[in-house]
């Protein structure tokens, strides 16, 4: 089924439209037109519940609006996972038993009448894409690589698998290795996270941030027997994780719980959180390396692409990059389950022979214009001023050590703020880290912050530098810069940068460059615009609320500026 899309009557062409949806935690939707990502957003950004597993009505509504089409213009619905038929029934009204059990009873129709707005008049093609294949698709199809690529997908679990390798070549993805939940390094790391007292499925980044404060040699071996062991590219000793998980649904988000975490709790009490975190980080890095690296040689490639929640771990990504085995490294920047709808759509489009356009940025969410923002401010009788040089004005505030909230253009997909929904402050003073943690984000004092740096400065600031647009890999900071950027260099001398290229991000590049002219620092501290426990802010209304409910000094949205 092909549909006429945009263009003049003379050159009107059939467009191929795929709507990708993932039902589950971090529910999301994405839309692809002729192989180009038009929109990609997680439901949490609208419901304001982090990791929301709600049926993604809002995400689908936004994707269709961004594409300027209705549901009947969709050629194919691609689902990120094999057990998605209940969601398919609820959101689209489509009765499908699902691929796992064709004999199973069809899911009942439970959707209230007012939520049936995406029921298509005619059922489009429906494709179920296995969880890890959808992950692999995000890693492979979003980059342009002509040669062979080794793709690693590692997470907690999805469709019964946790740890997979794939060969990407000639626009196709072929499976190499698929391991079940007893190989799950994701669950191991999450078990430790739960034992430390953090949310399994959310707090893993905090465990990683805590690790450099510990010393793994003080508890070396303490976690033995609690993780799967790999040797030369294969699983040597499985863990016993399968079927030993439960979860509690709170505020529309899953809080996972494992029996294993209970066994680890006494070890945390004995050795302390930092040392256990450090040992868990050491194990994660070493085991992933032991699994993945031998396959690069076996596959005869030095190009690695990765996805799955484990590859949110920027220190692991750094370790892989520094291994000496990789020339080209593509950690997909939104590697968790909040990109499964996109991954399913990418795979489905490629499978139909559609050429996929690689990404150049991650700005696939909603944008709001000056008029809309101004109307919001007027309705609330809030004082503001219009700037004719927003980048220069904000750079001036940053040079004066003010904390600025910056909402410009389309929202980022994925968990990292990349200069569209950011809180910014000068990286030149160590106390800024404490100020943002305590008065703005309301989170733990040890949590590190990351810089956005001018691409032109990367060779000076980073060891073994490369452009890294997405804050998905950490780098060692050049020794001469460690003292000059104290708010963004972590205790272990690393930083996790976003390199900002002028041609990709002209406004944000100019902001940092204006800050450099005033201070000599080619970087700003950039953290996501939200407070602890919230998803990243999407709408200006939420930014206003966050501004007045935190220690942020300045709010810049579009060309408009609010101050306290």
Q: Which residues bind Fe ion (CB under 5 A)?
A: 155, 158, 337
Residue 127 Cβ, how far from Fe ion at the closest point, in Å? 18
CA dist 294 → 291, 301, 312, 494 (Å): 7, 11, 22, 26
Q: Are 485 and 516 in contact (CB under 8 A)?
A: no
Q: Please tell me the distance from the alpha carbon of residue 186 to that of residue 154, in angstroms, as a whole number.
A: 7
Residue 424 Cβ, how far from Fe ion at the closest point, in Å? 31
Backbone φ and ψ for 472, nearest 5 degrees, come out as -115, 0
Angle formed by the axes of helices 390-399 and 506-519, nearest 10°: 40
Q: In 3D, which of 365, 305, 314 has the Cα closest to residue 471? A: 314
Helix (H) or strand (E) holding 28, with range, is: strand 28-33
- Looking at the Cβ atoms of 255 and 328, the one nearer to Fe ion is 255
At 308, list the tokens: 């799955």
Q: Are 410 and 65 in contact (CB under 8 A)?
A: no
Q: Please tell me the distance from the alpha carbon of residue 552 to that of residue 548, in angstroms, as a whole number.
A: 8
Q: Are 73 and 439 in contact (CB under 8 A)?
A: no
Q: Please tell me the distance from the alpha carbon of residue 148 to that of residue 259, in angstroms, as a whole number.
A: 40
Q: In 3D, which of 155, 146, 151, 154 has the Cα closest to residue 165? A: 151
DSSP 330-360: EE-SS-SGGGHHHHHHHHHHHHTTPPPPPPS
At 229, list the tokens: 């062991």
- Looking at the Cβ atoms of 155 and 505, the one nearer to Fe ion is 155
Residue 304 Cβ, how far from Fe ion at the closest point, in Å? 18
Q: Are 531 and 550 in contact (CB under 8 A)?
A: yes
Q: Please tell me the distance from the alpha carbon of residue 384 to that of residue 378, in angstroms, as a whole number.
A: 9
- Looking at the Cβ atoms of 158 and 209, the one nearer to Fe ion is 158
Under DSSP, the state recorded for 270 is H
Residue 25 bears catalytic tag: yes
At 186, list the tokens: 């994701």
- Looking at the Cβ atoms of 337 and 514, the one nearer to Fe ion is 337
Residue 337 Cβ, how far from Fe ion at the closest point, in Å? 5
CA dist 545 → 246, 251, 379, 429 (Å): 35, 20, 14, 27
Residue 277 Cβ, how far from Fe ion at the closest point, in Å? 22
Q: Are 41 and 20 in contact (CB under 8 A)?
A: no
Residues 6 or more apart in contact with residue 485 via CB below 8 angstroms: 427, 428, 451, 461, 477, 495, 521, 523
- Looking at the Cβ atoms of 158 and 216, the one nearer to Fe ion is 158
- Looking at the Cβ atoms of 194 and 337, the one nearer to Fe ion is 337
- Looking at the Cβ atoms of 201 and 451, the one nearer to Fe ion is 201
Residue 140 Cβ, how far from Fe ion at the closest point, in Å? 15
Residue 87 Cβ, how far from Fe ion at the closest point, in Å? 16
Task: Say how far residue 300 (Cα) sits from the centre of its chain.
Answer: 29
For the chain, how are helix, strand and coil distributed in percent, rounded to 5?
Answer: 35, 25, 40
Which residue of the chain is nearest Fe ion when measured via CB? 155
- Looking at the Cβ atoms of 155 and 299, the one nearer to Fe ion is 155
Considering 22, 25, 51, 329, which one is annotated as catalytic? Answer: 25
Residue 336 Cβ, how far from Fe ion at the closest point, in Å? 6
- Looking at the Cβ atoms of 28 and 301, the one nearer to Fe ion is 28
Residue 154 Cβ, how far from Fe ion at the closest point, in Å? 9
Other Cβ atoms less than 10 A from the Cβ of 336: the count is 26
> Which residues are designated catalytic?
25
């Amino acid at each position: 089924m092909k549909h006429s899309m945009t263009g003049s009557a003379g050159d009107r062409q059939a467009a191929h439209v795929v709507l990708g949806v993932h039902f589950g935690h971090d529910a999301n939707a994405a839309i692809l037109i002729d192989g180009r990502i038009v929109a990609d957003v997680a439901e949490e950004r609208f419901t304001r519940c982090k990791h929301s597993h709600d049926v993604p009505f809002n995400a689908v509504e936004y994707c269709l609006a961004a594409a300027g089409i209705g549901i009947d213009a969709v050629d194919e619905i691609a689902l990120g996972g094999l057990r998605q038929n209940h969601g398919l029934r609820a959101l689209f009204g489509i009765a499908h038993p699902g691929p796992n059990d064709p004999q199973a009873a069809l899911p009942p129709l439970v959707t209230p009448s007012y939520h049936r707005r995406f029921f298509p008049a005619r059922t489009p093609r429906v494709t179920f894409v296995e969880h890890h294949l959808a992950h692999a698709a995000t890693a492979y199809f979003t980059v342009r690589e002509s040669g062979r690529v080794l793709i690693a997908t590692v997470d907690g679990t999805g469709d019964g698998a946790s740890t997979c390798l794939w060969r990407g070549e000639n626009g196709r993805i072929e499976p190499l290795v698929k391991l079940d939940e007893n190989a799950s390094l994701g669950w191991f790391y999450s078990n430790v996270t739960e034992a430390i007292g953090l949310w399994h499925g959310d707090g893993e980044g905090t465990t990683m941030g805590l690790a450099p404060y510990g010393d793994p040699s003080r508890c070396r071996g303490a976690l033995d027997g609690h993780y799967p062991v790999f040797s030369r590219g294969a699983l040597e000793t499985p863990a016993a994780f399968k079927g030993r998980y439960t979860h509690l649904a709170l505020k529309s988000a899953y809080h996972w719980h494992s029996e294993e975490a209970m066994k680890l709790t006494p070890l945390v009490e004995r050795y302390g959180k930092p040392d256990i975190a450090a040992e868990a980080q050491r194990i994660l890095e070493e085991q992933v390396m032991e699994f993945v690296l031998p396959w690069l040689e076996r596959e005869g490639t030095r190009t690695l692409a990765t996805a799955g929640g484990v590859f949110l771990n920027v220190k692991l990504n750094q370790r892989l990059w520094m291994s000496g085995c990789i020339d080209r490294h593509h950690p997909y920047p939104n590697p968790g389950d909040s990109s499964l709808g996109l991954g399913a759509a990418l795979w489905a489009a490629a499978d139909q022979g559609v050429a996929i356009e690689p990404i150049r940025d991650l700005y696939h969410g909603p944008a709001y214009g000056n008029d809309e923002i101004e109307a919001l401010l007027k309705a609330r009788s809030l004082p503001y001023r219009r700037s004719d040089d927003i980048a220069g004005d904000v750079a001036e505030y940053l040079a004066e050590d003010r904390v600025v909230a910056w909402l410009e253009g389309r929202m980022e997909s994925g968990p990292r703020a990349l200069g569209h929904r950011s809180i910014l402050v000068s990286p030149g003073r160590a106390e800024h880290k404490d100020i943002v943690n305590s008065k703005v984000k309301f989170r733990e004092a040890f949590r590190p912050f990351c810089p956005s740096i001018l691409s032109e400065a990367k060779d000076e600031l980073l060891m073994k530098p490369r452009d890294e647009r997405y804050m998905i890999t950490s780098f060692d900071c050049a020794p001469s810069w460690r003292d000059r950027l104290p708010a963004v260099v972590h205790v272990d001398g690393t930083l996790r940068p976003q390199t900002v290229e002028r041609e990709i991000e002209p406004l944000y590049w100019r902001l940092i460059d204006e800050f450099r002219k005033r201070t000599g620092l080619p970087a700003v501290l950039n953290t996501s615009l939200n407070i602890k426990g919230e998803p990243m802010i999407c709408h200006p209304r939420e930014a206003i609320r966050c501004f007045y409910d935190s220690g942020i000094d300045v709010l810049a949205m579009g060309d408009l500026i609010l101050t306290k």
